[in-house]
Amino acid sequence: MTFNQQSRNPLLFFNLLMVVCFLLISNYLSAQIEQVEKFGSNPGELRCYIYKPKTLLNSDAPLLMVLHGCSQTAEEVSNQSGWNKLADSLGMLVVYPQQHLMNNPSRCFNWFRKEDITRGGGEVESLHQMIQYCMAHYPIDNKRVFVFGLSAGAVMGTILMAAYPEEITAGCSLAGPAIGTWEGSLSQMKDLYDTDEYVPQSQLEKLRACYPGYTGTYPLLLTVQGSNDVLVTIEDQTKQITQWTAANGSDAVPDKIELINNDPNVERSVYTNSQGRTVVIAYQISGMGHVLPINTGNRIDEGGKTGLFSKELNFHLPYWVMREFGMVK
């Protein structure tokens, strides 16, 4: 068929164009994250995807683990959050774990099962093995290993911090409850999965149960919560603050309260222990629901795309997370 003949058949031309566009989009998406099939024994049977930035630092590269929420996938988080764009600027490797539907039909990480949240076993050990894989195969700085999670991924991220505190530098929990809590809307999840797992008596014991016998300090926690979130509430964040300040020898009374960039919608509270170490930073974002706040654009403090779990709020949380962790100014 000549070009002139093809041009006379607009339907055929349109179909060929759609095939080319599909191939281009598929290649683009596949280039974003790459699955690692074998990263360890993987007792939790999770999947592992990695984003390698355009320019990975030759040495002392930072590592970030990003944990999705229920019903989400690694690819969705990768495409909507803006983390990859920021990783390109920082030379940072990003690992995206993904829950398997056979583990949880809602694709939630199993933050409520003892066998999945205790050091050395289940899903938390699979996450640990992903970090170990990255450390072995890339020039990662072991003093710059960070965790970020949304909702179910947020509480699973804090479980990883509690189970392997010596290997995580800091972590951010976005709309995540305290470890071991079932209050509020989360009680529906308990009924849904018909689980009656061991629940320690105090908030501190719930955290320490992830690493039995450990009495040392824990990583810095940045906790972020929206005032309009009806699934995970401000009260849930308060419990999380109480849990993590107690774990690091501090009370749950903030030492500083301020606005970020004089934005009346974003309040920042800082909690320090008796040694002057910052142990918890809390953001409360007025008007925000159960979403990831983004600020679309091309600057380093902008990024992400509006989607099912991300919303344009003129506040790009990934940037501010890395700023709190000392990665950007």
Residue 76 has pLDDT above 70, yes or no: yes
Residue 166 has pLDDT above 70, yes or no: yes
Q: Distance between CA 38 and CA 105 in Å, rounded?
A: 23
Instruction: Give the Cα-Cα-Cα angle 245, 249, 252 (nearest 5 degrees).
Output: 35
Confidence of residue 141 (pLDDT cuts 50, 70, 90): very high
pLDDT at site 305: 96
Determine if residue 81 is left, alpha or beta; phi over 0 gives left, psi from -120 to 50 gives alpha, anything else beta.
alpha
Residue 16 has pLDDT above 90, yes or no: no
pLDDT at site 193: 42
Residue 216 has pLDDT above 50, yes or no: yes
pLDDT at site 188: 46
What is the CATH number that goes with domain 40-324?
Answer: 3.40.50.1820
Mean pLDDT calculated for residue range 273-288 = 97
pLDDT at site 57: 83
Angle between helices 83-90 and 317-324 (to 10 degrees): 40
Q: What residue has token string 């990665």?
A: 327
Classify strands 170-174 and 140-150 as parallel, antiparallel or unpaired: parallel
Mean pLDDT calculated for residue range 95-121 = 94
Q: Distance between CA 108 and CA 159 in Å, rounded?
A: 14
pLDDT at site 22: 39
Residue 242 has pLDDT above 80, yes or no: yes
Mean pLDDT of the chain: 88
pTM above 0.85, yes or no: yes
Residue 21 has pLDDT above 60, yes or no: no
Of residues 190 and 79, the one with the higher pLDDT is: 79
| Range name among 178-187, 246-255, 263-272, 315-324 with the lowest pLDDT average | 178-187
Q: Distance between CA 117 and CA 66 in Å, rounded?
A: 17
Q: Cβ contacts of residue 232 below 8 Å, gap of 6+?
A: 151, 175, 176, 177, 184, 185, 186, 225, 290
Torsion of CA 108, 48, 210, 276, to 10 degrees: -110
pLDDT at site 59: 87
Q: Distance between CA 319 and CA 300 in Å, rounded?
A: 7
By CB atoms closer than 10 A (0-12, 13-18, 19+), residue 136 is exposed
pLDDT at site 201: 53
Mean pLDDT calculated for residue range 225-247 = 95
Classify strands 266-272 and 310-312 as parallel, antiparallel or unpaired: unpaired
Domain ranges of the chain: 1-32, 40-324
| Range name among 200-204, 234-238, 293-297 with the lowest pLDDT average | 200-204
| Range name among 173-187, 217-231, 315-329 with the lowest pLDDT average | 173-187
pLDDT at site 203: 83
3-state secondary structure (DSSP) of residue 243: helix
